Chains A and B, each alone.
Chain A
Amino acid sequence: QKEVEQDPGPLSVPEGAIVSLNCTYSNSAFQYFMWYRQYSRKGPELLMYTYSSGNKEDGRFTAQVDKSSKYISLFIRDSQPSDSATYLCAMRGNFNKFYFGSGTKLNVKP
């Protein structure tokens, strides 16, 4: 079983839609949860970061962590064509090792 599972998509939505991206994980010791955004031909960039359980909001983006279910989500409100990218979830484990999901490719159509 992979440490982190993520639906690869692709996910295609119309502009203005609410997008929900999700990951599940198997290691209950994970405490640091991140979402990275990767545009085509670029390296991933940190979008949201959450420590332990709970919600975090930043503009149109909301990250949720449910440690009891080992499930994390990223919601994008009022999605824009500029949000079209691949979104990777990530967790930090022991010895600062990062575990990445395989990424979900999102396409927001104008």
Chain B
Amino acid sequence: EAQVTQNPRYLITVTGKKLTVTCSQNMNHEYMSWYRQDPGLGLRQIYYSMNVEVTDKGDVPEGYKVSRKEKRNFPLILESPSPNQTSLYFCASIHTGGRNTEAFFGQGTRLTVV
């Protein structure tokens, strides 16, 4: 079964305490992406990766880091979280073959920074 697995699903943390949200996909996709979803703003891209060791900034990268050491994993790192990073986060693994395209999303991580 095609799957994108994110962990944890829920996280409450304090300002400044480093955290990592993991993301793993089993579809052998090259392209993966992180989004945050906020009311009224929709899904905004944080970072994306077009392949192993190839990452680039999306629309709202400030305060975030990513790495792509293996094709299946794409962790999101918050070195020093702040309250404005309280949001719902989604990892997506994207199929881009020919005229077919689809983003497969994880279940989401609800992060609260206090």
Q: Which residues of A contact B (CB under 8 A)?
A: 6, 8, 32, 34, 36, 41-46, 49, 51, 88, 90, 92, 95-98, 100-103
**Residue of A whose beta carbon sits closest to that of B105:** A43
Identify B33's interface contact among A36, A42, A46, A98, CB under 8 A.
A98
A-B contact count (CB 8 A): 55
Distance in angstroms from A62 CB to nearest chain B CB is: 19
Q: Which of B35, B58, B107 contacts A42 (CB 8 A)?
A: B107
Q: State the main secondary structure of chain B at its contact with A.
A: strand
B80 interface contact, C-beta 8 A: no
Closest chain-B Cβ to A65's Cβ sits at a distance in Å of: 14
25 A-B pairs with CB atoms under 8 Å apart are A32-B101, A34-B101, A34-B102, A42-B107, A42-B108, A43-B4, A43-B90, A43-B108, A44-B103, A44-B105, A46-B103, A46-B104, A49-B100, A49-B101, A49-B102, A88-B42, A96-B50, A97-B58, A98-B33, A98-B45, A98-B94, A100-B35, A100-B42, A101-B42, A102-B41
Closest 4 pairs (CB-CB, A-B) = A43-B105, A102-B42, A100-B43, A51-B99
Contacts of B40 in A (CB 8 A): 8, 102
How far is A96 from B58 in the complex, measured between Cα atoms in Å?
A: 12
**Cα(A108)–Cα(B2), bound, Å:** 29
Q: Give the contacts of B72-102 with A (CB-CB under 8 A).
A: 90, 92, 94, 96, 99-102
